Chains A and B, each alone.
Chain A
């Protein structure tokens, strides 16, 4: 009875809230680590990833680099292709292992388990993103090193902190975009799959993965800047090939815009996930397979 009196209950509430918050945070972090684990550890248990995830992008990079070679382009264009190919590895990972992941989870029956679990889906997506980001970083680094060695490309880095900042901001924003796309799979199936197939190449075009994005012109370039990869790539290229390639905006400004995109896409992912999850529950589409 004494616990219900205002004098004793009031001091207990913030403490309880604090405990709840700590427990929620602990659960969230455990969920995130649990979801990141298979991507970081289990995926590397099968060595065939070395072939498929390093050799495949490398083949594409070699093909585009040889086009520049056939055109007698300066060496920095081959470097541009290698950097673009390395960053494309993250885009492919976002598309097929982040955005499409909820499709796989639904097919295998895990999606219902995720939704029943006490932790928020955002923690699960964060785990997928962190795991995917780190695992892809290993693969992209291998692609970058091998590509640079094959074609003899050298880099002249202006500022390592700025390169790291541009790279990290573009990755976080990109995985935020991936989380937004992932939420679409709660409502749709093959339509989103087809959209993903379709946008893979146009994104390579728009983000300037194989050509400087400035070649697209200011208007298309401004539109392309909505995709985090565009500004990230342009900023990194400016910082590793200074004054050698046409650029869209100064690197500092691009990094500032990327910081805004991080907030927009991560916030957007949280909002869209909540909104679409609720709609999918109402429409009964969460467990709908083979549609």
Chain B
């Protein structure tokens, strides 16, 4: 009797697990193909690194033009590490909503994704995975370029790898949650759905201190900055790469405390993002916005 009642439950769990895995795999492959199958792998790699590298070079030139050519002190490493890490946010936070909108409006296939037995949330996580891989590749190349050619003061033997890994893993959760929430919002927006993720990314670029210490922000913006998980994430990535001394200008000195705040804000943020996404997803289906076209 016990076996009879538990077997279907186990079977259901196994089917759900298999479906989730299949969805994740298919979405990952779809994203990889839709991002890169327009060209050969070499050109695609070049395409991936040009943008973050030139963004870093702009900052390097800004630094050199003020501090003197080829100076490496002060916030030089701060700038490059922040610009390199920002690739993750650009790829996922701005990228997932764009992918969903392209599926809905350009390729008109979003409704087919919805009618499969897979969960849309898992599909979106699958879409985020290749972007995370791409971002990691661009992050590593930009940082390598900065270390070898521009003299960014990162000692690879002194890097705090466990902290870097933990920051990247938690960062993936925070960034993907934000991307998914914006994808949900993009589904229900009547106008500006394409621009909204860029607006949010732009605001976060400013508020989270991606390329400058948050102490230069006005007081009220600093308070907002300390409520955003990306502020702590960027700080932890910098501390892991450049050493704890880089955090002298950050309002919280202790790295453990920074990590604690990062974990706390990430969990809170992911919960809010999930709720917002579910509401938007429901609203989009109720209002018949899954196959709506606004731009074509």
Contact = CB atoms under 8 A, between A and B. Distances in A.
Contact of A290 (B55, B59, B66, B106): B106
B22 interface: no
A73 interface: yes
Given A64-B62, A67-B211, A77-B66, A104 B217 contact: no
Q: Which of A194, A197, A216 has the most CB of B within 10 A?
A: A194
Range, interface on chain B: 35 or more
Contacts of A201: 50-51, 54-55, 58
B195 interface: yes
B43 to A, nearest CB: 9
B62 to A, nearest CB: 5
Contacts of A70: 75, 212-213, 216
A55 B212 contact: no
Given A70-B75, A191-B38, A290-B106, A59 B203 contact: yes
A198 B51 CA distance: 6
- Those 6 A-B pairs whose CB atoms lie nearest each other, nearest first: A59-B202, A190-B38, A52-B195, A201-B54, A73-B66, A70-B212
B206 A63 contact: yes
B219 interface: no
A108 B62 CA distance: 42
Range, interface on chain A: 35 or more
A59 B67 CA distance: 24
Contact of A68 (B51, B62, B213): B62
Interface in B201-225: 202-203, 205-206, 210-213, 216-217
13 contacts: A51-B192, A59-B203, A66-B212, A67-B212, A70-B75, A71-B63, A72-B66, A107-B296, A108-B296, A194-B47, A197-B47, A201-B54, A205-B57
B74 A71 contact: yes
Interface string A68-87: 11111100010000000000
Interface string A197-230: 1101110110000111001100000000000000
B191 A55 contact: no
A273 to B, nearest CB: 23
B216 A290 contact: no
Q: Which of B65, B106, B195, B199 has the most CB of A within 10 A?
A: B65
A41 interface: no
Contacts of B213: 70
Contact of B61 (A191, A197, A200, A215): A215
A251 to B, nearest CB: 20
A215 B79 contact: no
Interface string A162-196: 00000000000000000000000000011100100
Contact of B191 (A48, A66, A72): A48
A115 interface: no
A59 B192 contact: no
Nearest to B61: A211
Contacts, number: 105
Interface of A: 46, 48, 51-52, 55-56, 59-60, 62-64, 66-73, 77, 104, 107-108, 189-191, 194, 197-198, 200-202, 204-205, 210-212, 215-216, 246, 290
A178 to B, nearest CB: 20
B54 A204 contact: yes
Contacts of B47: 194, 197-198
A208 to B, nearest CB: 9
Contact of B39 (A63, A64, A68, A191): A191
Interface in B150-200: 191-192, 195-196, 198-199
B191 A46 contact: yes
A70 B210 CA distance: 13
Contact of A56 (B50, B55, B59, B199): B199
Nearest to A55: B199
A235 to B, nearest CB: 19
B64 interface: yes
Contacts of A204: 54, 58
